[in-house]
Amino acid sequence: MTATNRGELPDDDESQVVSVERSTIERVRGPLTDLMKHPAAALSLFLVAMMTAMTFANDNFLTRNNLVAIGLAVSVIGIAAVGQTIVIVSAGIDLSTESIIALTSVVVADLLRDGLPVGTVLVLALLLGCGCGLTNGLIIAWLRVNPVIATLGTLTLLRGLARLYAKGRTIPVGDQTMRDIGLDELPGGIPIPVAIMLVCFAIGAAVMIWTTFGRNTYLIGDNLEAARLAGVRTKLVQVGVYTVAGLFAAIAGIVFTATVGAGLPNGASGTSLTVIAAVILGGTSLTGGIGRIGGTLIGVLVLGVIDNSLILLDVSSNWQLVVVGTVLIAAVALDQGRLRLNEIGLARRAARRAG
């Protein structure tokens, strides 16, 4: 009995079928692979799809008041995410962000209560954030403590200092100028906190693209030893990275204080993980050397729209934590998938050159 009679294909026909199947798989895999290689593009499509779905699901979603609410809700996270992006690009991580925000918040509220000028208070707050970040950088770069352990320690330490400073109590802000920062809008209807966030993203992007510091940050994130051998002062860059992250966390703390109208020693709890989730979701790799500030902005907006959608759909606030955790896991999984795709691509190119 022949192969055909047994219901099997001849060798030529079988090879044609396999070829067709492979070409079909490649046609499907190609766009998916491209999206994984360009996470910001994929995330933008997801954001548009989610907003479109919510527009049909709830009439209030696309109203000006709701869009302003989304912007205000993500402003603190977005500002802090700029600094966190720079840290993660350098192959580090900063878990102390939320404690820097809380410590800045209570110090700002207390100094304003004592009657210091707003300008002086803001400068002192920024210096405080830089000092906290500098401490992280020195511990990590000079003492060579693992970034997770170092910033986990300062997370607890700074939170304790915030509670001690405020004696565990909320410190109200009575200064009208400070309250205006959190409540007023610029011409065109843009809330000041949102405008501050966008300026921070623009500054962060400019630093990472056009400055030597930004280029060196990518270098040490990609390969610390190679960067050192190339003449980069790696320890100095690492200290600078965490100092800058502390600066942006302090700005976030100022905006947080202005928005809520008080210094909260227990405020911003859980913000660090949300910030990290936004950064990774935006395409910054946990292994370092890969990431864009613009991608982080999209990640922040996605998380903001998700939280807002859950509120509009009357879903319990507890589910917001579940969603953030799920998004963080998914983002890390996608990051690892991108790395594997890059490794496969490099291996194939090397094989073709060798052949």
Q: Report all structural domains of the chain as residue ranges with CATH numbers, in order of start.
A: 42-337 (1.10.3470)
249, two tokens: 């966390």
Q: What is the pTM of this model?
A: 0.85
Predicted confidence band of residue 25 (pLDDT cuts 50, 70, 90): very low
Q: Is 275 left (phi over 0), alpha (psi -120 to 50) or beta?
A: alpha
- The whole-angstrom separation of Cα 90 and Cα 220 is 6
Confirm if 36 and 338 have CB atoms less than 8 A apart.
Answer: yes
Predicted confidence band of residue 17 (pLDDT cuts 50, 70, 90): very low
- The whole-angstrom separation of Cα 180 and Cα 192 is 8
As a whole number, mean pLDDT of residues 13-39 equals: 50
Place of tokens 């405008």: 195
Q: What is the pLDDT of residues 151-201, one digit of tens each?
A: 999 999 999 999 999 998 999 998 899 999 998 999 888 999 999 999 999
pLDDT of residue 11: 54
Output the average pLDDT for the chain: 86
As a whole number, mean pLDDT of residues 314-342 equals: 76
95, two tokens: 């878990």
- The whole-angstrom separation of Cα 237 and Cα 171 is 36
- Return the DSSP state at 8: P
